Structure 1
């Protein structure tokens, strides 16, 4: 029995990451094929030579479509991780309990003198390492947002300039593209959808349930129960 558990342990213990990671790759592949077909239709309409799939995957058009979605997702998690330190929603499992707003005490967070034997090594320290580690999740999400935002802006500049040249218009600089309507239209239409999704999840989970999910309260929990997961 223990041997069977060891053999199946990796797939079971990492099934959430593996399932979503695999789905991500499949959807990305689907986007590549669909985007390639759509882009070639535009080229054909303009009387230009079409691209192979490999050429499309290396193009700025594919890069900007991918990175503009990535940066909005990382922005969502960055804001959510830091926002939920202080912001609360009565009755939501997405919120901390109402009396726990703020970074909480060392005892509650099990750091420094209150760390346990199996606590991460940096959680047991009392210097800059603990401060850095205690904010590492949100900081990495912020960094991933900034990097994907930068990649989107660079790829977007290249894609925009390609379109400009097709229309016999002069190209623009990276700085000029950052101030353009095209850049902010791409960014804001993704940001608003992510913020709406977070707000909807926070309030709908007050009244609705999903049995067995840690994103939901237990089915029988009161609507006013806050910070309780199923």
Structure 2
């Protein structure tokens, strides 16, 4: 599965770069500017900002989804724990510390900072990638924005000024709303709808009000 999505990602990113170069050069020629090479385009702020604004919204989506599944439940959804299981669970349930198995990850067997980091490692990594992608979007976005400002004879804005601009928040929020809608629909639709054989679905005959963990 990892290989499939890695290959699909590379193909999609490559396709975006080729199509993006064609669109960018068309716009360049329309404004009397010279076309750019493929290498110049994929290292440009125009390409980086488009990629980064999508990456940050995807990782924000999964960061919020992972965090929400710790504390919130949705009755009947396989994306949720069953009602009553809210929270981080006991050490015994989580197989940490003295409750760890011989084949448990090494950091699951220790207490202190290492134990805490590993217990929250997926959230920490997803959150870090979101923040870094959002920062990359901001850095590349201000270059693109100020280029457009110069084209229209307007003064450039500072980095802080760009962070408060409508352009920055439009780029961010247009992606956030679509990602949050998709996750919300997946959680709600999975109560009533099934893809047979998927680990993201309850068994086809499971009652709507029953979560997958309750049917095992």
Do the two structures share a fold, i.e. TM-score over 0.5? Answer: yes
Instruction: Say which of 99, 102, 124 aligns to 1:114.
Output: 99
Q: Secondary structure at the match of 1:214?
A: coil
Partner of 1:187: 172
Q: Which whole-Å CA distance do the structure 2 matches of 1:99 and 1:86 have between them? A: 10
Q: Is the 8 A contact 2:49 2:137 kept in 1?
A: yes
Instruction: Say which of 76, 89, 99 aligns to 2:84.
Output: 99
Instruction: Return 5+ residue gaps in structure 2 as ranges.
Output: none
Q: Which whole-Å CA distance do the structure 2 matches of 1:89 and 1:122 have between them? A: 31
Q: CA deviation at 1:54?
A: 1.4
Which stretch shifts more, 216-225 or 143-152?
216-225
Q: Which whole-Å CA distance do the structure 2 matches of 1:72 and 1:227 have between them? A: 28
Q: Secondary structure at the match of 2:84?
A: helix
Partner of 2:113: 128
Q: 1:44-63 to 2 correspondence within 5 Å?
A: 44-63=29-48
Q: CA deviation at 1:166?
A: 1.8
Partner of 1:157: 142
Structure 1 consecutive aligned stretches of length 4 or more whose deviation exceeds 6 Å: none
1:75 aligns with 2:60: yes
Q: CA deviation at 1:41?
A: 1.4
Q: Is the 8 A contact 1:98 1:226 kept in 2?
A: no
Q: Is the 8 A contact 2:194 2:201 kept in 1?
A: yes
Q: Is the 8 A contact 2:73 2:80 kept in 1?
A: yes
Instruction: Return 5+ residue gaps in structure 1 as ranges.
Output: 1-15
TM-score when normalising by structure 2: 0.96
Q: Is the 8 A contact 2:53 2:133 kept in 1?
A: yes
RMSD (Å), alpha carbons: 1.2
Q: CA deviation at 1:227?
A: 4.2
